[in-house]
Amino acid sequence: MAKRIELNVDGKAHTIDADPDMPLLYALRDDLGLRNPKFGCGLAQCGACTVLIDGQPVRSCSMPVDAIGKGKITTMGGLVQNGKPHKVQEAFIAEQVPQCGYCMNGWVMTTVALLEKTPKPTDAQIEEALTGLKCRCATHASIMRAVRRAATA
């Protein structure tokens, strides 16, 4: 049964009518028309669907839309401020990380959360934060360089 649900996405208020158990990912893509995050595995294992909720990385494919409450959702599009990419986005571009680009949403969003919590992470901290994210193009070395670059920006 549908319920009226209020969401704060990228600083804008939205109201949708949805099944409370529907994944947040579906609300973002289908109801709000956003194209990031991506649908990957649907099991919260790959990370392509990652968004930030109050600064914490969350796999939106497994998060019920009604569980968000008053949380502030940030998507990769919401990282851009005044037409300027976030320093993490700039680092990923500078290091030419994306090949197919499908998984980049998870890597970028998780890196943003990591650098907010730990501005100068060690390689071990970076690896721990990014554990579980998948990239079939195997750009992991480039991803590590991009995270290090963003941490020094």
Other CB atoms within a 10 A radius of the CB of residue 120 amount to: 9
What would the mean pLDDT of 19-42 be, rounded to a whole number? 97
* % of the chain residues with pLDDT over 90: 97
Tens digit of each residue's pLDDT (9 = 90 or more) over 108-147: 999 999 999 999 999 999 999 999 999 999 999 999 999 9
pTM for this one? 0.95
Per-residue pLDDT band for 72 (boundaries 50, 70, 90) equals: very high
Count, residues in the chain: 153
Q: How high is the mean pLDDT of the chain?
A: 97
Show the tokens assigned to 23.
Answer: 């994944």
- Please tell me what DSSP assigns to residue 29: I
Domains of the chain: 3-78 (3.10.20.30), 87-152 (1.10.150.120)
The predicted structure's pLDDT at residue 144: 97
